[in-house]
Amino acid sequence: MDTYLAGCLTPERTMPTPNPAALEFLSTRRSTPPKLMSLPVPSAEELAPLLQAAVRVPDHGKLEPWRLIVLSRPAMVRMADLAEARAVERGGDAEMIAKGRGQYDQGHLAVVVVASPKENPKIPASEQLLSAGCVCLSLVNAAIAAGWGACWLSGWPNHDRTFVERAYGLAAHETVAGIIHIGTPTTPVADRPRPDLGALTQWLAE
């Protein structure tokens, strides 16, 4: 056995305190597509602790390089119309319109995670964007842990500068890290094939 690995497994080593339930949750969690979610959705009071958990993420320099926009059903309807209008402006076909409207037509509640990087000579924008991505996944996991269905999406409108400025009022330096849909699962979601960890992992012992 490799000397480094053997040292990690010696009986004298003080072992950490495990949390099997948390590890089991993370090992089995599954997202639920918006089309497989329905009402009810979390109330403002139920959503608040999920948002609080979501922003408990790595944030070098405590910059808080993200912000959240909650979309209720009426807002989703407006976003669908804005997406269709933008698709028409761009000369899009019926498929582009349908894809643009899709998640807003299907969703009942969503949280837009906005990456809002701050000027800082020590912390690159790429690292701040990763922090915003952490917020996305943390919100998905918090919602699932609370018993809801949840899913992280984007879609072409959220990579369209004109749309995100019209729809969400984003500043020039801001982007959409993701849209997190939350609702009640209506159909069990089958697991999908997972990555081959052995093919993706390299150990550097020295």
Q: Does 29 carry a binding-site annotation?
A: yes
Rounded CA-CA distance 170/23 in Å is: 36
Q: Does 13 carry a binding-site annotation?
A: no
Q: Does 56 carry a binding-site annotation?
A: yes
CB 170 within 8 A of CB 9: no
Q: Does 153 carry a binding-site annotation?
A: yes
Q: Does 31 carry a binding-site annotation?
A: yes
Number of H helices, E strands in the chain: 8, 5
Q: Does 60 carry a binding-site annotation?
A: yes
Rounded CA-CA distance 177/115 in Å is: 6
Rounded CA-CA distance 130/139 in Å is: 14
Binding-site residue set: 29-31, 56, 60, 152-154
Which positions make up the binding site for FMN?
A: 29-31, 56, 60, 152-154
